[in-house]
Each structure stands twice: as C-alpha cells, then as structure tokens.
Chain A
Amino acid sequence: MSATNLRYVNRKRRVREDKRFVTGQGKFVQDVNLPGMLHVAVVQSPYAKAKIISIDASEALALDGVHAVLTGEELGQYCDPIRFGLKLPEVKWYPLAVGMARYSGEWVCAVVADNPYVAEDAAEIVEVDYEPLDPIIDPEEAFEDTDRLVHPGNGSNVLYHGHFHWGTVDKDFAAADETLKYRVRWGRSSTVPIETFGAQARWEQGTDILDVWASIQMPNFVELLSSTLRIPLNSVRLHQDVDVGGSYGVKRGIKHSVLVGYLARKLRRPVRLIEDRLINMSSGDAHGPDRIFDTEVAFNKDGEIRSLKIRALDDAGAYPGRAPFQLAKPISAIVGPYRINSVKYEAISVTTNKTGQVPVRGFGQSPTNYMIEAAVDKVAAHLGMDRVEIRRRNLINHDEFPYRIPSGSDYDSGDYHTVLNKALDAAHYDDLMKRRDQARTEGRLAGIGIATCLEPGGGNNIFEYLMNPTAEITTFSEGSEIRVDPDGLITGVVGTTTSGQGHETLVATIIGEELEMDPDDIRVVHADSLNAPVTRSPVASRMAIMLGSATAGAAKKLKDKVLAIAAHNLGKTIDELEYSEGAVFETGDPANKLSWPEICFIAHKAHHKMPEGMEPSLQAQYVFQVPGGGQLPDEQQRVQIYPCFSFQAHVPYVEIDPATGKVSVLDYVIGHDCGTQINPDIVRGMVIGGLAHGIGAALYEKFEYQPNGQFLSATFADYLMPSVYEIPMVKDVEHCTPSPLTSHGQKGSGEGGYLGAPAAIAGAVNDALQPLGITIDELPMRSHLIEALINDGR
C-alpha cells in the first residue's frame, strides 16, 4: 500500500490522549475514589526462605481504624493458586505466603484499614514467628540442587527444560571452518514504570459482580481473577477506562487484584491496594529476565555464520508467572535478521528464592538479541572483520522475503541492508570512526556499537504449546467495534486498557482513514470487560497490527452496510456506486446520492427504507485473527509464532572515563522500519523510549541480592534508571517496508528500541575497552565493574 494515498494514517497529527495528561486530567487507578473504600498494607517476610510458625495480629486489630488482617492460611482456603501456564501443580502461587515464605519481601499478611497511614501502622505491629530456612539464590545451583527446593512438592527447582533442534546443526558445525564458544549474562532488571501497580475492587452483592479497577496490562487477567477467586468469568467486570501509568509488560498485578477482590467480597466494602515503591520493587513480582546464555557458533572464514547451539538458563524467581514463556517467544526470531541455517536451543527455567518474574518488553527477545549480537561481534573480532561488514554478509536480503527461518517463522518483509545503511549514513560512520580513533589517540576510551534487531510483533499464544502441549491455543485475536449513532457521530470501542501506546489515536486514525472522516470527530472508548470486544490486551507489539487491522475490518463491514443501504434507496447495484466521506452517489451521476445523515437516519429510524432482512442500526464488530496463526507446530516443533517482523539498526558512540568506569553515551543513531506508521510521533516515541530503557538495562539497572537472599535494590537510590543526562538526543531515521499481512502495512514498534539498545551499548563499551584487551560479557556493565577491570588490567 502506498503511503501517499493516505489521508490520516502516517500523517503528523496530535495524539488525542495527550490533552488529558497535560491538564492533569488523566484517570489513573489512584484517581478513582470509591465511597467507603478501605486500604491495604502488607506484612512482608524478612527472610528469603522461612516457615511461618504463627501470626499474632491481635495488637494490629485493636488499632482504631483497622478492619481486618488476612493471612495466607485463610486466603488459601478460599482461593485457588494463580495459574501460570505450565502444568506444575505443586508450584502454588498465592497472593499471601501459605505456610512458607519463599523470598525476602514476600507478602505474609494483609492489613485492611480506613486509610493507608493506619494500615501501615498496623502492619508494623503484626507479630509473625518464622523459622528461617536455607534459601537458594544462584540459578545454576538451583538447577542442580535437589535439597534446597523452593517448592518442595515439585521435586526439583526446574520449572521447564526443553530441547529444540531445527535443521542440520551437527552437519553445519562439522562443515564450518571454525567454531567459537562463549557465555553472556543478562542481569535481573525490569521496566519499573513510574506509576506503581494498584488495584481496587468492589463486590456488588445485588448483581454478584466484582467491579475491578486496576493498573493492568495483561491477557487472561479477568480469566485468572475469576478462576482464582472461584467466581464465574462473567462475574468480573474490569473497568478498562483507567489510564495505566506505564507498563512495558510488567503491569500484571494479578496477586494484588485477587487479594483486593477477596477482601472486597469478604468485607462488603471497596478495597484498594496501591503499591508503595518499596513494595513495588521488592515484592510486586515484577522483575524481568535473569538469564545466562552458553552459546556455540559455527562460521566460515569469510564471516558467514552457519549454525548456533544455544543454552539459556533463566531465573524465574520464587513464583514464575509467565516467566518461563519468555524463553519461548525468542524462538520466533531465534536467528535474528541473519541467514543462519540451523539452531539447537536448550531452554531452562529455574525457580529460586527471589522475587517473581513477569513479562518485560520484548518477552525475552532483548536478552536473546544481546546473545545473538554478541555472537556476531565475537566472530568478527575472531576473524578480524569489520562489524558492519560481517553483518552485511549475513543479513537476509530484501529479495528473499518472505523468509523462513529454521524454527519455522516466515519473516513477512524487510529491507535490512537499506536500514543499516541509512543508520550508518546518518551516523556519518566514517567520520564517527575517525572521531573514535582521534579520541583514542588523545588517551580516551571511545567505542562505537553496531547492532541490529528484529522485533517480532502481533503475538500468538502458540509458544505456550511449545512448552505445555496441553495448551492447544492457536490464536491471540483482537476485536474492534464501531458504532454510528443516529446523529451520524462515530464511536470506536476497544476492549482493553492503554498504558501510553495511544490506542485511542490508533483507532480514530484508522476509522477516519477507512470511512474518510476526520479522526478528531471520532470518539474512542475503553469498554469494561463485560461490554468489550474480545481482546488479548496490548502486549507483544501487537496493537497496531491486531487492533489496527480489526478496526479496519470493522470499518469495511460498516461501509459495506452503508453501501447496501444506499444501493437499495438509489435503485442501483453496489458496483454502480461510489463512497466518499460518508456519502454514497451514483458513479457518473453524482446528483443521485444519499448523504451520511440520510443513511444514518435510515439505518436507525426509517426501517421501511432498509433492504429486506437487514439488521437495524449502524454498527460493526470485527475480530482479527493473528496472520499465520491457527496452526499447531509440526513434528520438529516448527511454527509461526509472531506474524510481523520490524527491523532496527543501532549505532551508538560512547566514551568511558578510565578513572571511574563511567560510560557516557554521547551520540546515538537508530534506523528503524516498522512498516507503515499509523502515527509517526507515537512510533518515534516508542522507538526512542525503548532505546532509553535499553540503555538502562545495559548500563545501570539491576535488582541485587545478597548471597543470603536479602534484596538490596528497593529504592531509586539503589536501582538507577537513566535521567535526561544519560540519554543523548537520539537521531532516528526511518524506512518503510510494509507488511503484506496487516490492514495498512503496519508492524509493531513498541519493543524494538529495547531489543537493540542493550546489544548496541554492549558492543560500544567492548569496542571502547578493546585497546585494553578487555571484554565484558554481562549486563548491566556498571561503572564499578568497568573501573575494576580497567584498573586490574593495568
């Protein structure tokens, strides 16, 4: 599709959501006050592993304003464990520890009071008697250990251990000129939104409905809430018109929501739990991947990379949530953007006595991309090849699409060489190298990073089947609804919350494009979950692809109905008519026409003018199936997991202060191609924002634990995130290779910056350290680590 024919798509237009945010009128969960609401504070385990001997809440309960103290023992009687996708019945995840606390900070009791101040006072005086036990903290030890079990009933700390073998790996290794083995480690970090997680619930006794407001971004939330609380699915009403203050995958407070749902039903009062920052960091169960890769790469002397053997060991923490599946999504792009012929992939998820892990931006793809790009850089270094040249030698060519990779994905479209070239041109790569070399001659440590990444977008739950073959789920669909009222005004209805991705703008833009109406006149609302079109939530870089295509589908259905009504009234066939900005007229006789108000009036009020048998009113709903979905994997576990693949090339320039090890990212160019951009400002924001987040993961952010399992990173003074000083004024260059699979050629753009930046920054730091003979193979590369290596090396 040519972008030049578009009226609203791919045009610079204001983002409608922004008005409420700049006026302080955003509606976040904390801004929704319910009459009579009570507030929860939690009592946390001081031990990484401990048996709970007794709990004495009498003093807390005696405090004025305290309504209840809930223990895990009680909650466990009335709730089921929260399901998490793998069939491990003895790994039981409850909102409050039942019998045993499994990480430092785990919630042991919940105190309910008139306000948060009193609730926290009371939580401090709940007396819990513990018997401390020996925790297991190191994931490699956890994999081997059979005594120190996080979940003794499970018989081991291994949650998942799978082997995948795609293509002729052994043959390719034997035929290759050389092989290289290496280990890289991705540190435990997360996206840490500035809004913590919050949830509140109200039980309506008269209707048997649990109303929930939550800062949520996840599929299955309502299903999990109902199954855990043992109430019917249609008894849960999630209010999705709540603004979510950032998520990037992690706003999955299912345990918080179960807790307030249970308490609201029990106490017959609305109940709220808003995490404070300490709770959020220590025990919100929102940590990200924590992964060790042992990789072997086979390649030829000319730089051609032939095959990979990958072993990934991931530390899911005490309660895995969806964490293990973050090892499965990367299968969709396991060779990155490169022509690699075959892959062996061993994936292991272990449990340890740490805070639980949730999906983080890219769902495991960012660590995997770091590992892949490390392979490319290491092969280049080994062969003495230029890092750009080796990428050019291996990148898939524009004329090879759709391109099938060994694990079964068909990459839909792309022009990787051009995007890389555009990025290098924008970076003035030759000059940049001179600048680096000049800096080196002046005694400074300077480096350039080169990294590419693929961003799989669109999502499909089929990765779950790869790890749990009882889960025959082959779709991840999304619905959209368009209603036209009797005045001819249009409302788009979406079925999910939004956390900064601009879904209202997306939907209004696409309806406007399809119906040739000004998007500013189109309202978009977030229906509650009992009224909403089907949704799998805004994860997996999927909303432009899925919600966008669903909205285009609904608009086409609506337009078909408009044409049918017009044809009936104008005495013509549809083929003889043209649609223009809502009106329909006869081709060749524009005077023979029906206006948009006339069509809307007929649809709603003048049924005698409707075609026989046609439903009254004017509305349409469309549910879009994931392109390439609907299939189970073949016997070699090959399957199309994600439909669309965006591409990025990153070129950062860094300098390192040798005295302190501090890395300064001085310049950064990113080339990106996510197909057609629905709103260019939104895409640009996502790309640069993801990139900044990747700089954080590469250089600063880590959840630290002592060997005894004590958590050390519960404040923003301990867990450092980039400020404006750490992020340069990024230069972004665009390219557009439309996807053939979506309504307007769009692909995902929410994750790519985060997928490429850690690899690029790692490459830049290692380039800077290369004159000293130092290579760092772990993230984050923090200044004290770099400083120690520099000074040890001297």
Chain B
Amino acid sequence: MSTIEISVSVNGKAYSENVEPRMTLVDFLRDKLALTGTHIGCEHGVCGACSILLDGTPIRSCLMLAVQANGHEITTVEGLGDENCETGILQDAFRDAHAMQCGYCIPGMLIASEALLRENAAPSLDDIKEAIGGNICRCTGYVQIVEAIQLAAERMRGAAQ
C-alpha cells in the first residue's frame, strides 16, 4: 500500500514518518513511535483510553488518522512528566490518591485532567465530571480519580502562589 509522509511534533520532539493513509493516529503513536503509553480501549471513540492532546485539545487518537495529524503538535502521557520519567504535580496527585488500579485508562484520564487544569485552576466537581465524563474507568468507580484531580489543582494553586 502506498504511504504518505507526515511530520508531527510529539512531546516536543519532531518526527517525520511514512504512513499508510488508513493508519490510525493511536497505532502510529504506538507502533511507529513506540509511545505505548497511549492505550487502545474501544476503537470507536467511547472509552477515552486513547486520549491525547492535539494542539492542546484532548482528542481520541483512535478516531483520527495519522495523516490528519500532519503538522500538528501532540502530547501523550509520556510528555506529562520530565525526560527522566519523574512525575509532575498531576501524576503525583494520582499516585497520592491511588487514583487507579490496573492503570489501563489512566493515560487518558491524565490527558483529560491535564487539559482541564491548564484552563481551570480551581475546577468544581461539575467541571471535573465534565472533563473526565468521556473517559471510562472500570476499576476505581472514579472517586479517587476525582480526589486526585482536586488534590492536583490545590497543589498547583499552592505552587503558583
């Protein structure tokens, strides 16, 4: 099958790759760039496990083709911490609240939370629900995830003061 060359920036690094036109963005990230932190859950846009930031906006990478990402900036879960895999405020809050069990949906949850907290330093419970309402977690029942986001927001506000 013929391929198309695309250029994307992922977690601040520039990539140029040849991809088949039908390759999904999530497969591109996982299989071409070996960024396996982004997970595949349903491949029909419901569960949110494959969420990434595209130019700062959370999107479903299973519903987008890699070629559509040409020229765009992407952030995946691997881009949330620093280069040495040290965790940031949001990730630490998820650890301190034990906002996960199996960890499979967590990259998507972190991406949705990151997008929220970039826009809203003091989210209400309703704001948090709206931000992660499209991400399904089967382990936690969401309570510890909500608590983690509240904790992260509080710590970020503290750090900003």
Contact = CB atoms under 8 A, between A and B. Distances in A.
A18 B138 contact: no
A725 B127 CA distance: 11
Contacts of B81: 22-23
A22 B110 contact: yes
Q: Is chain A's binding surface mostly helix, strand, loop or mixed?
A: loop
Interface in A176-227: 191-196
Interface string A697-722: 00000000000000000011100010
A716 B42 contact: yes
Nearest to A276: B43
A724 B131 CA distance: 10
A248 B76 contact: no
Given A14-B95, A18-B95, A246 B141 contact: no
B101 A277 contact: no
14 contacts: A17-B103, A23-B80, A26-B103, A117-B23, A193-B102, A194-B41, A195-B41, A685-B141, A688-B143, A692-B140, A723-B135, A724-B146, A729-B125, A753-B141
A19 B129 contact: no
B107 interface: yes
Interface string A104-136: 000000000000010000000000000000000
B28 interface: no
B133 interface: yes
B41 A685 contact: no
Given A24-B76, A24-B77, A499 B43 contact: no
Contact of B144 (A14, A244, A248, A685): A685
Contacts of A277: 41-44
Interface in A704-763: 715-717, 721, 723-725, 727, 729-730, 753
Interface in B17-60: 20, 22-23, 30, 35-44, 46-47, 49
A692 B142 contact: yes
A693 B138 CA distance: 7
Contacts of B110: 22
Interface in A2-28: 14-15, 17-26, 28
A25 to B, nearest CB: 7
Contacts of B129: 724-725
Nearest to A16: B95
A21 B39 CA distance: 11
Given A191-B138, A691-B141, A715-B42, 9 more contacts: A31-B36, A195-B104, A277-B44, A500-B102, A692-B142, A715-B44, A716-B46, A723-B134, A727-B142
A124 to B, nearest CB: 14
A418 interface: no
Contacts of A117: 20, 22-23
A684 interface: yes
B30 A30 contact: yes
B111 to A, nearest CB: 10
A724 B91 contact: no
Given A117-B20, A688-B144, A689-B141, A195 B95 contact: no
B105 to A, nearest CB: 5
Contact of B139 (A19, A276, A500, A725): A500
A570 B88 CA distance: 49
Contacts of B96: 14
A673 interface: no
A682 B101 CA distance: 8
A20 B41 contact: no
Contacts of B116: none
A192 B138 contact: yes
Contacts of A195: 39, 41, 102, 104
B139 A246 contact: yes
Interface size class of chain A, counting residues whose CB lies under 8 Å from the partner chain: 35 or more
B117 interface: no
Contacts of B77: 22-24
A479 interface: no
A686 interface: yes
Interface in B72-127: 76-78, 80-81, 85, 87, 91-92, 94-98, 100-107, 110, 125
Given A15-B95, A22-B91, A24-B76, A724 B104 contact: no
B87 A689 contact: no
Contacts of A247: 102
Nearest to A729: B143
A701 to B, nearest CB: 11
Contact of A500 (B47, B103, B125): B103
A314 interface: no
Given A502-B101, A685-B98, A194 B136 contact: yes
A192 B78 CA distance: 26
B85 A727 contact: no
Contact of B47 (A19, A681, A716, A753): A716
Contacts of B140: 685, 688-689, 692
Contacts of B136: 194, 716, 721, 723
A717 B43 CA distance: 12
A22 B139 contact: no
B107 A24 contact: yes
B10 interface: no
Residue of B40, B102, B110, B146 with most chain A CB atoms under a 10 A cut-off: B102
B103 A688 contact: no
Interface string B123-161: 001001100111111111111111000000000000000
A151 to B, nearest CB: 32
B138 A28 contact: no
A501 interface: yes
Interface in A495-515: 499-502
